[in-house]
Structure 1
Amino acid sequence: MIIGDKSIQADIKSESTVLVEVWSDYLCPWCYIGEANLDNAITELGINAIVVYKSFQSNPTLQGAYTVSEIARQSGFSLEEAKKKSKYIEDMASRANVELHMDSVIMVNTMDAHRLAYMAKQKGYGKAMAKRLFEASYMEAKNIADPNVLAAIGEEFGISKEGTLAMLKSDQYRTEIKSEIQEGLNNGLQGVPYFVINKKYSLSGAQPKEVFKETLSGILKDDGPYKPLISKSPSGYTCDENGCEVPNK
């Protein structure tokens, strides 16, 4: 069973629980495939897993909207080469029980999609929103940088259109997205998808289902279920991005 990410502390109850943090981008087909393989592995193993989705931008400077073929031409690939690569990715997706339509995907900057996903994650819909954004990109050929498209998707999760549009017009969640990206880089991320298991082990790339099964089984066998740190110390003074605490004396 895959548990949502609303409250990690509250959900860690099972003796077969693993925590999997996933860095991905919604216009990365290997992310969609890799996450499907992870889900299939968890289901077949019959374990409880808490999957937390985190942000990464594979093309953060992209401006405008382009087809995969247009991007390929800009990168020096012929149309025939682009179609061949797309077919290979679609075949790999099919093996993971995922449907992709590479030729109709609209390539855009994904920052706003990540901001909507972060908003949804605060409401306990992190995994569901991630899946929905992948579907919008790869099955429905939607422009996930379009505020109205994102607002409509948000409404499917109980987020008002006005709330989404107001968030997108502001800088809300940009700092959090950049922080998640930096966290991944600090953990050794060099490309997505990137998986960190139980805050200790990592896997990179769209690994096959069998690799996930073997890895998760081995971790549970060697380390047991994930247990979050339990603080044994009283609260002390700390420093954060706003500065250092100073007692009033």
Structure 2
Amino acid sequence: MENKMIVEIWSDVVCPYCYIGKRKLEKALSQFEDSRQVNVVWKSYILDPTMPDDYDKSTYEQIASKYGTTVEEAKATHRKLEEAAKAVGLDYDFDKVKPANTMKAHQLIHFAKANGKQDEAEETLFRTYFTEGKNINNVDTLAEICSSLGLNKEEFLSALAKETYHDDVRADIYEAKQVGVQGVPFFVFNRKYAVRGGQEPAVFLEVLQKSFSEWRKDNPLPNLEIIEGQVCTPDGKCD
């Protein structure tokens, strides 16, 4: 397996800044010439583990109750979040968003990781929650996401029933405490540099360049002794 620098992201699917931060990191990676040498790994973090499965209030009611504000104040705050999302090409619709416990969603992310589809699962869950307004704690919704990703939904449902990935989620949360995560998104580059929050792409790019430069020193490219012979080059010359 090709050796790559690891970027770890602690995130929760219901965190609006996590999706925004994902887009900003992606933009930085698109500008980073060694992006193919970077492997992004998503880590689970649950912002509200006490959220009941049958929660039926709106996002505005949830926030107003939690922080002692009015529903109108909560709506105003979320309009600003919608604008921040729009600035990076995302379409948030908090009028439709359904607050949800994310333990099952995180188990889906780990199931997808085991099948090589972690980033795709993360993206789809974000979109399902913030744009489509579906309940990501609903088993049928998660099964649909599995199918859309080309994953075996029956295998996922079996894993969910057996809590196969429950300990993996808990391990990520425990690890978050060890590395100092107190909020998400939280980005760790090469286990040496950390960025908290959805920073601008320029910030991510700077950290990528610095961390990769140091990583490359510890993981140098092969120094091959080349025996010359006749070759064809990309400019069309053969000699």
Instruction: Verify the 8 A CA contact 1:55 1:114 in the aligned structure 2.
Output: yes
What is residue 195 of structure 1 aligned with on the other side?
Answer: 187
Shift of 1:87: 1.3
Q: For residues 125-204 of structure 1, what are the structure 2 equivalents within 5 Å?
A: 125-204=117-196
Instruction: Verify the 8 A CA contact 2:29 2:205 in the aligned structure 1.
Output: yes
Q: Distance in 1 between matches of 2:10 and 2:106?
A: 11
Q: Comparing 149-158 with 94-103, which one deviates more in the overlay?
A: 94-103
Q: Deviations over 1:221-243 (max 9, x none)?
A: 45536749xxxxxxxxxxxxxxx
Q: Distance in 1 between matches of 2:162 and 2:150?
A: 20
Instruction: Go from structure 1 to structure 2 and tell me whether the alpha carbon gap of 1:164 and 1:45 turns closer, same or farther (over 3 Å shift).
Output: same
Q: TM-score, normalised by structure 2?
A: 0.84
Shift of 1:23: 0.7
Secondary structure at 2:47 match in 1: coil
Q: Distance in 2 between matches of 1:73 and 1:23?
A: 26
What is residue 47 of structure 2 aligned with on the other side?
Answer: 58
- The match for 2:88 among 66, 89, 96 is 96
Matched length: 215
Amino acid at match of 2:188: V
Q: Distance in 2 between matches of 1:128 and 1:142?
A: 17
Select the structure that is richer in strand.
Answer: 1
Instruction: Go from structure 1 to structure 2 and tell me whether the alpha carbon gap of 1:178 and 1:38 turns closer, same or farther (over 3 Å shift).
Output: same
Q: Distance in 1 between matches of 2:217 and 2:181?
A: 24
What is residue 6 of structure 2 aligned with on the other side?
Answer: 19
Instruction: Go from structure 1 to structure 2 and tell me whether the alpha carbon gap of 1:122 and 1:20 turns closer, same or farther (over 3 Å shift).
Output: same
Q: Distance in 1 between matches of 2:130 and 2:218?
A: 33
Secondary structure at 2:95 match in 1: helix
Instruction: Go from structure 1 to structure 2 and tell me whether the alpha carbon gap of 1:225 and 1:80 turns closer, same or farther (over 3 Å shift).
Output: farther
Shift of 1:168: 2.1
Instruction: Verify the 8 A CA contact 2:110 2:165 in the aligned structure 1.
Output: yes
Q: Distance in 2 between matches of 1:78 and 1:46?
A: 47
Amino acid at match of 1:51: V
What do you get for the CA RMSD once the two structures are aligned?
A: 1.8
Q: TM-score, normalised by structure 1?
A: 0.81
Secondary structure at 2:31 match in 1: helix
Gaps of 5+ in 1: 1-9, 229-249
Shift of 1:161: 2.9
Find out whether 1:35 has 2:22 as its counterpart. Answer: yes
What is residue 45 of structure 1 aligned with on the other side?
Answer: 32
Q: Distance in 1 between matches of 2:71 and 2:33?
A: 43
Amino acid at match of 1:177: V
Secondary structure at 1:83 match in 2: helix
Q: Distance in 2 between matches of 1:51 and 1:221?
A: 17
Identity %: 33
What is residue 62 of structure 2 aligned with on the other side?
Answer: 71
Shift of 1:158: 2.6
Gaps of 5+ in 2: 221-239
Instruction: Verify the 8 A CA contact 1:108 1:145 in the aligned structure 2.
Output: yes
Secondary structure at 1:184 match in 2: helix
Instruction: Go from structure 1 to structure 2 and tell me whether the alpha carbon gap of 1:117 and 1:222 turns closer, same or farther (over 3 Å shift).
Output: closer
Q: Comparing 23-32 with 37-46, which one deviates more in the overlay?
A: 37-46
